[in-house]
Amino acid sequence: MTLAQDDARPKTLDAGELLSQADHEQVVSCHDPGTGLRAIIAVHSTALGSAIGGTRFYPYATYAEALADVLNLSRGMSYKNAVAGIPHGGGKAVIIGDPNADKSPALLHAYGRFVQSLAGRYVTAADVGTNVADLDLIGETTEFAAGRSVERGGCGDSSVLTSYGVFQGMRAAAQFLWGTPSVTGRRVGIAGVGKVGRLLAGHVLGDGGRVVVADVSPEAITQLREQHPEIEVAESTEHLTAMDLDVYAPCALGGALDDRTVEALHAGVVCGAANNQLVSEGPGGTAERLAQRGITYCPDFLVNSGGVIQVSDELHGFDFDRAKAKVSAVFDHTLEVLDSARDQAITPAAAADRIAEARMAAGMPTPWLPNPGSADDR
Ligand SMILES: NC(=O)c1ccc[n+]([C@@H]2O[C@H](COP(=O)([O-])OP(=O)(O)OC[C@H]3O[C@@H](n4cnc5c(N)ncnc54)[C@H](O)[C@@H]3O)[C@@H](O)[C@H]2O)c1
């Protein structure tokens, strides 16, 4: 699966060309004159069930740029959901605008009505520029909004199970490489100790591992050290990646694994939460460079799937223990991908893609969720 970087969106493509080349089931352009809402909902695949993926609220320079992003991101969700083994296809939506200036309850309600009009083919959640409070508002006009607050019956902060899933992926890589499903005595470098990275540090320490971190935010480091004074702090992410590590966990932004980082890296395993870590894919791409250097790469979209698993559980009335049990399967799924990559002499990224594609090809659609009632504030 080739995903563009979050910060490298194509800017000059024509919308008509993009649509004519897309392999998506459905793309919906939404406009509400009363609130100024302009959004695009992209349903890439419902082969495995209703498409689920977040809504990004972002000030795209052009409509074509927004379209390129939503097509790319929704396709990525199909692979993530398929490889995570959840009964959902892939979808994503973008709202075009500045979330700090253009967001309003009326606009989010209007957006919810468009989501509702798809009758469950697409279930939305939070992404860059949207949060739990926004999902609460969107959920007032559609039943198909997940990632709402606990008070509204939602699952709340998805970083809890995202970090748990990344840790399961790390344990699987340890099993694959060192013959034991544990990071006891191992040195784990975490780049970015925000919501996910800081919880991941706790999991590693709890398992008897050593943690060294880097973050551009001094507050994030201070907060973490208050909780875990024993952690080591690297001067910068660059310093961190040059250290002797057993595991490197990118938990900040996309594009974490560029050529320079891969060449500098002294780690047996890369396993982290950040989306779109590989700067390039395919022959000669980052996944191959990692393999050539003997580094076991756990595909990001597999090991960070705990968030979407947590959010999708909400559709059945959120139950934390049930969701956590589902996220535990990230261990088995990661081992399956690493074993399959070794057996076929391909990279783990390619193996994960093949597994996802086979599941989608064999998948049977699940029935759509029932039609709900809806609120109206116009
Ligand atoms: N939160 C989730 O449930 C979830 C789910 C799936 C994937 N992800 C991905 O995981 C990553 C982390 O998510 P989060 O929710 O913890 O985000 P966050 O914003 O809470 O934390 C990110 C942290 O990275 C730090 N950072 C930014 N640039 C950095 C750099 N160059 N070097 C070091 N640190 C840097 C920030 O200061 C911040 O502390 C993101 O890529 C996100 O897309 C998150």
pLDDT digit string, tens, across residues 124-178: 999 989 999 999 999 999 999 999 999 999 998 899 999 999 999 999 999 999 9
Mean pLDDT within 289-314: 95
90 falls in which pLDDT band (50, 70, 90)?
very high
pLDDT of residue 237: 96
Residue corresponding to tokens 């798809």: 118
pLDDT of residue 253: 85
Nearest CA to ligand 1 atom 1: 159
Mutate to test the pocket of ligand 1, among 77, 128, 159, 166 (most ligand atoms within 8 A of CB): 159
Checking if the pLDDT of 249 tops 70, the result is yes
Q: Which residues line ligand 1 (CB under 6 A)?
A: 158-159, 162, 191-197, 214-217, 220, 237, 251-253, 273-275, 304, 307
pLDDT of residue 371: 35
| C-beta of residue 224 within 8 angstroms of C-beta of residue 201 | yes
The lowest-confidence range among 63-72, 261-270, 274-283, 307-316 is 274-283
| C-beta of residue 359 within 8 angstroms of C-beta of residue 88 | no
48 falls in which pLDDT band (50, 70, 90)?
very high
Mutate to test the pocket of ligand 1, among 127, 131, 203, 251 (most ligand atoms within 8 A of CB): 251
Strands 232-233, 210-214: pairing is: parallel
Mean pLDDT within 210-229: 97
Specify the higher pLDDT residue, 287 or 364: 287
Checking if the pLDDT of 8 tops 50, the result is no
Nearest CA to ligand 1 atom 6: 304
Nearest atom within ligand 1 for CA of residue 273: 10
In this structure, what token pair is assigned to residue 293? Answer: 């250097």
pLDDT of residue 364: 55
Q: Is 326 a catalytic residue?
A: no
pLDDT tens figures, 198-212: 999 999 999 999 999
Checking if the pLDDT of 239 tops 50, the result is yes
Alpha helices (H) along the chain: 15-21, 63-83, 99-102, 105-117, 132-138, 159-178, 195-206, 218-227, 237-242, 259-264, 286-292, 300-303, 306-313, 320-328, 330-344, 348-362
61 CA distance to ligand 1 middle (Å): 24
Mean pLDDT within 95-111: 97
pLDDT of residue 187: 98
Checking if the pLDDT of 2 tops 60, the result is no
Nearest atom within ligand 1 for CA of residue 128: 43
**Which numeric CATH code is attached to 159-316+324-346?**
3.40.50.720
pLDDT of residue 3: 40
Nearest atom within ligand 1 for CA of residue 252: 24
Specify the higher pLDDT residue, 198 or 373: 198
Q: Tell me, which fold does domain 15-152 have in CATH?
A: Rossmann fold (3.40.50)
Percentage of residues of the chain with pLDDT beyond 90: 86
334 falls in which pLDDT band (50, 70, 90)?
very high
Percentage of residues of the chain with pLDDT beyond 70: 93
Indicate the length of the chain as a whole number. Answer: 378
Q: Phi and psi (nearest 5°) for 273? A: -85, -25
Mutate to test the pocket of ligand 1, among 163, 213, 216 (most ligand atoms within 8 A of CB): 216
225 CA distance to ligand 1 middle (Å): 18
89 falls in which pLDDT band (50, 70, 90)?
very high
Mean pLDDT within 18-35: 97
Nearest CA to ligand 1 atom 10: 274
pLDDT of residue 12: 67
Nearest atom within ligand 1 for CA of residue 310: 3
Q: What is the pTM of this model?
A: 0.88
368 CA distance to ligand 1 middle (Å): 33
Nearest CA to ligand 1 atom 40: 274
351 CA distance to ligand 1 middle (Å): 26
Every domain of the chain and the residues it spans: 15-152, 159-316+324-346
Residue 3, amino acid = L
pLDDT of residue 328: 96
Residue 334, amino acid = T
Nearest atom within ligand 1 for CA of residue 197: 16
User: What is the chain's mean pLDDT, rounded?
Assistant: 92
- Secondary structure class of 28 (helix, strand, coil): strand
Checking if the pLDDT of 332 tops 80, the result is yes
| C-beta of residue 172 within 8 angstroms of C-beta of residue 334 | yes
Residue 41's nearest CA partner among 141, 98, 113, 99 is 113
Q: Identical fold at 15-152 and 159-316+324-346?
A: yes
Mutate to test the pocket of ligand 1, among 3, 73, 196 (most ligand atoms within 8 A of CB): 196
The residue from 80, 92, 103, 326 that is catalytic is 92
pLDDT of residue 374: 39
191 CA distance to ligand 1 middle (Å): 9
275 CA distance to ligand 1 middle (Å): 9
Angstrom CA distances, 62 to 15, 70, 71, 280, stand at: 10, 13, 14, 25
Mean pLDDT within 183-187: 98
273 CA distance to ligand 1 middle (Å): 8
